[in-house]
Amino acid sequence: MSAEIKVPTLGESVTTATIAKWLKNPGDSVAADEPVVELETDKVSVEVAAPEAGVLGPQLVAEGAEVEVGTILASVEAGSGAPKGAAPAKAPAGVQAQPVAAGPVARPATPPSDVAAQGAAHAPMPSAQKIMAEKGISTAEIGTGTGKDGRVTKGDVLSFLAQPPVAKAPPAPATPRTDDPREERVKMTRLRRTIARRLKDAQNTAALLTTFNEVDMTAAKELRAEYRDIFEKKHGGTKLGFMSIFAKAVMAALKEFPAVNAEIDGDDIIYREFVNLGIAVGGPNGLVVPVIRDAEKLSFAGIESAIAGFGKRARDGSLKLDELSGGTFSITNGGIYGSLMSTPIINAPQSAILGMHAIQDRPIAVAGQVVIRPMMYIALTYDHRIVDGKEAVSFLVRVKQNVEDPRRLLLEV
- Specify the DSSP element, H or E, that contains 379: strand 369-383
- Residues linked to residue 216 through DSSP beta bridges, in sequence order: 375
Query: Catalytic site residue 122?
Result: no
Q: Helix, strand or coil for residue 269?
A: strand
| CA trace torsion 196, 200, 206, 211 (10° rounding) | 80
Query: Catalytic site residue 235?
Result: no
User: Among residues 276, 247, 249, which one has the least CA distance to residue 261?
Assistant: 276
Q: Helix, strand or coil for residue 37?
A: strand
| CA trace torsion 100, 106, 108, 112 (10° rounding) | 160
- Those residues whose C-beta lies under 8 Å from the C-beta of residue 13, and which sit 6 or more positions away, are 325
User: Among residues 98, 101, 156, which one has the least CA distance to residue 127?
Assistant: 156
Q: Are 364 and 370 in contact (CB under 8 A)?
A: yes
- Those residues whose C-beta lies under 8 Å from the C-beta of residue 18, and which sit 6 or more positions away, are 39, 40, 41, 64, 65, 66, 67, 190
- Those residues whose C-beta lies under 8 Å from the C-beta of residue 408, and which sit 6 or more positions away, are 252, 401, 402
Catalytic entry in 201, 229, 361, 388: 388
Distance of CA 209 to the CA centre of its chain: 28
**Active centre residues (catalytic):** 384, 388
